[in-house]
Amino acid sequence: MARAGPVTKDTSTVALGLAQIRIGASATYMGSTDLQLTAADSIGAMASTKFISTMEIWKLESGFPLLEDYQIPIREAASLECAFKEITPFNLALARGYDPTGGSFPEAHTGEIALGDFDTRSIEYVRMEGIYTFPNGTNYMNIIFPRAQVVPATEMDLQAEDAVAVAVALESKRADSEVSGGSVVWDDKPLGWITFT
């Protein structure tokens, strides 16, 4: 019997599951477009991972009644929203807008995080690598933000019978050679890129 409708073309391309989120020092790896971080740089178990890319469009209209003639992209943004389960000083510092990679924030159960200190510092840059493994265990989709900032809005909803999941939004910022601290390797992809292997 002939099949109709949208049938699967390649089962190895179907995505199911979450990405591993790795965090590193932005400046340390700025000159590389390849994956640089390892599983040891992961922020651990995740409750959700979501990549978002938005483009704002200007539309040319003419005539009466107005009809669309053309459209031009005028603004682009890329972000990765995730929720981590492991409550560590490192992860909470990241959620608060720190670069936690310098060793000041331990992995578990020790340390401190200052509240109310934003009058003396800016939100720091980190390198974010999202590693998604397809269910076949062979193919990968890698999202690299060479220069990302967190939108700090930390909420820990502690539950009686479920693990907490702290949401974090990592927004990609320009990393090309025209921005201070950027690199020429990102000139044709200033917000980072997605690679497939």
Q: Which of 99, 101, 96, 95 is nearest to 116 (CA)?
A: 96
CA neighbours closer than 13 Å in the CB half-sphere of residue 46: 20
pLDDT value at position 119? 63
Contacts of the segment 100-103: beta carbons below 8 A, 24+ positions apart = 100/23, 100/126, 101/23, 101/24, 101/25, 101/126, 102/25
Q: Are 106 and 90 in contact (CB under 8 A)?
A: yes
Domains of the chain: 17-196 (2.30.110)
Express each pLDDT in 154-189 by its tens digit: 999 999 999 999 999 999 999 999 999 999 999 999
- Compute the distance between CA of residue 69 and CA of residue 63 in angstroms, rounded to an integer: 10
Q: Tell me the average pLDDT of the chain.
A: 94
Q: Is the pTM of this model over 0.75?
A: yes
pLDDT value at position 58? 97
* Residue 115 pLDDT class (50, 70, 90 cuts): confident
Q: Which of 144, 147, 154 is nearest to 173 (CA)?
A: 147
pLDDT value at position 120? 63
pLDDT value at position 127? 98
